[in-house]
Structure 1
């Protein structure tokens, strides 16, 4: 019986030594790479004045005007407008005169649908908007120039109307 107990003790010691060496190897892997960084040297990609430089650039783009939001494309997050005005009634819509990274599709025309006045009200006419081509406003689709996502329309008064954008605080 003792021989057997001696074997068990030797096997147990070998298992313990193996566990200790693998535990030490695991601890080496857990050391953070932050411990290897020398913080006494200034990083080459850090600029403490970057926020101030960005704000100066934005002020130059706006030319002193204030804005309700900075608008971005919902698909690729490209900035579309720095200077816009929020719609009074539809809070997710904006209008602007100066935009960046936008493309107008001149080959497409969208018209505003209006009901024709003076038409008799028959039972089958209810709820069907009639197109009045003579009085309807003409719009052209506006797309993001980076990913071609439709973000709004451009009207005949040369004003951009954005409805599919991500606004952020300006």
Structure 2
């Protein structure tokens, strides 16, 4: 047989056999230029300085792009996946998308335990405005008239 015989496959190496590992070319005696063994300690000092010694229930991140949204927040007493905060970062208030008080998540009381709707039942006349991640525009919560952010779509992490 010409060209397609079984013996031809054994004679020529495959692509993976021809590839030389990059590990063979790395000089491990030289420290990588982007490595900082003290970086975790520096990050911890930076966040302690930002919080001014105050404790937090979690650090909140965007569920889509993992951008930090809040360094200091308080967990809701009843709905453990919801948080409220005053000082946030990387959040954009959508002024044109206000939630009217009468229709702000009308089914929130009827939903089950897996509900992602906020527990923010505004007082009469209060308007909630949608809050989105300023990086990827994912809706992460709402802000009330007292400028308190209510996060119901955010990833919490240990502080």
Change (3 A) 1:27 1:103: closer
SS at match of 1:71: strand
SS at match of 2:141: strand
Residue-by-residue CA offset, 1:76-131 (whole Å, 9 max, x unaligned): 111100101110111111000000001112233223339xxxxxxxxxxxx9xxxx
Identify the match of residue 149 of structure 1 among 130, 138, 142.
138
Unaligned runs of 5+ in 2: 1-6, 104-109, 111-121
Unaligned runs of 5+ in 1: 1-14, 115-126, 128-132
Higher-Rg member (1/2): 1
Change (3 A) 1:26 1:136: closer
Distance 1:80 1:135 in 2: 29
The residue number in structure 2 matching 1:40 is 29
SS at match of 1:54: helix
Matched, 1:61 2:57: no
TM-score by length of structure 1 reads 0.69
Identify the match of residue 83 of structure 1 among 72, 75, 78.
72
Q: Give the Å deviation of 1:28.
A: 5.6
SS at match of 1:105: strand
The residue number in structure 2 matching 1:106 is 95
Matched, 1:139 2:115: no
Q: Give the Å deviation of 1:73.
A: 1.0
How many aligned positions are there? 136
SS at match of 2:95: coil
SS at match of 1:108: strand
Q: Please, what is the CA RMSD of the aligned residues?
A: 2.9
Distance 2:150 2:139 in 1: 11
SS at match of 2:69: strand
Change (3 A) 1:136 1:46: same
